[in-house]
Amino acid sequence: MQILVTNDDGIIAEGLWVLARELAKIASVTVVAPDRERSAIGTAVTLRHPLRVKPVKPPVPGVVAYSVDGTPSDSVILALGKLMEGRVDLVISGINHGPNLGEDVHISGTVGAALQGYLRGFSAIAVSAPDESERHLDTAARAATALVKRMEENPPPRRLFLNINLPDRPLAGVAGVKITRLARESHINTVEEDSHGRQKYYWLERERLGETEDSDTDIWAIEHGHISITPLYFSHDDKPPKPLLDGLCSGLLKELKSR
Ligand code: MN
């Protein structure tokens, strides 16, 4: 199995390598990622200037790695179109340092990179964990890898695009794994105005709205301590049937906790 791993936090981000290390136990892994942090850049691609690619000495043995002086989407397009040889089975983006939930997935560079893989016909997974915690990165990497293994053992009939988020809890406290839909809510919903001297300036900020009531959404799942797995798709034909997703995720938490 050959997997492309990318992210939007940049080639030196810890989440990228925790994921690559876990995946490398079951697959051949190529990492192609931006040379710096490019979060919240969505699916942007670079068309007005040339891109440069540098081989990177990977911290994980056996992994091939490159950095790109472009966006997460540039990295995926370059990897699939030029850098990788042979059959690619899957594109995985993450582990993002911070959640990607609700309508914010449309600005997420993590999800944007996975989308580029999906649009090119590959199954794709975006993985995000709460900010600044190693324990979440490890759980996220193991959850993603367990899913990948299941997809290898029982290949889905058509490509899948999954957005996975981890709750802010240690693995022992995780309540479950929930198949969800995107909440109709954006966290980037506030403009803060301030000034220094005569000059005004603005910050676009995240402000939580009230409690999410809809228990089938990704935000609800995270707030209630579940691992959220949201299938993303664009046409009805690509909507994964519920039994397939249930099968893919059944017993997943038990499997993670048993190790
Ligand atoms: Mn990011």
pLDDT digits over 10-62, tens only? 999 999 999 999 999 999 999 999 999 999 999 999 999 999 999 999 999 99
pLDDT digits over 199-250, tens only? 999 998 877 666 677 899 999 999 999 999 999 998 888 899 999 999 999 9
Percent of the chain with pLDDT over 90: 86
Report domain extents, the chain. Answer: 2-183+211-258
Q: Which of 29-43, 74-88, 150-164, 206-220 is predicted with the least confidence, judged by mean pLDDT? A: 206-220
Mean pLDDT of 187-191: 80
CB atoms within 10 A of CB 163: 27
Q: Which of 80-89, 145-154, 187-196, 220-229 is predicted with the least confidence, judged by mean pLDDT? A: 187-196
Q: In this predicted structure, what is the pLDDT of residue 133?
A: 67
Mean pLDDT of 127-139: 85
C-alpha 62 – ligand 1 centre gap (Å): 25
Tokens 């940049």 appear where?
10
C-alpha 18 – ligand 1 centre gap (Å): 15
Distance from C-alpha of 60 to C-alpha of 67, rounded to nearest angstrom: 15
Taking a 5 Å cut-off on Cβ, the residues next to ion ligand 1 are 8-9, 39, 96
C-alpha 98 – ligand 1 centre gap (Å): 7
C-alpha 243 – ligand 1 centre gap (Å): 31
Distance from C-alpha of 15 to C-alpha of 253, rounded to nearest angstrom: 20
> Which pLDDT band holds residue 259 (cuts at 50, 70, 90)?
confident
C-alpha 85 – ligand 1 centre gap (Å): 27
Q: Which of 212, 228, 229 is nearest to 220 (CA)?
A: 212
Asked whether residue 197 carries a pLDDT value surpassing 90, the answer given is no
| Range 2-183+211-258 has CATH code 3.40.1210.10 | yes
CB atoms within 10 A of CB 167: 23
Q: In this structure, are residues 76 and 113 in contact, taking their beta carbons and an 8 Å threshold?
A: yes
pTM (two decimals)? 0.95
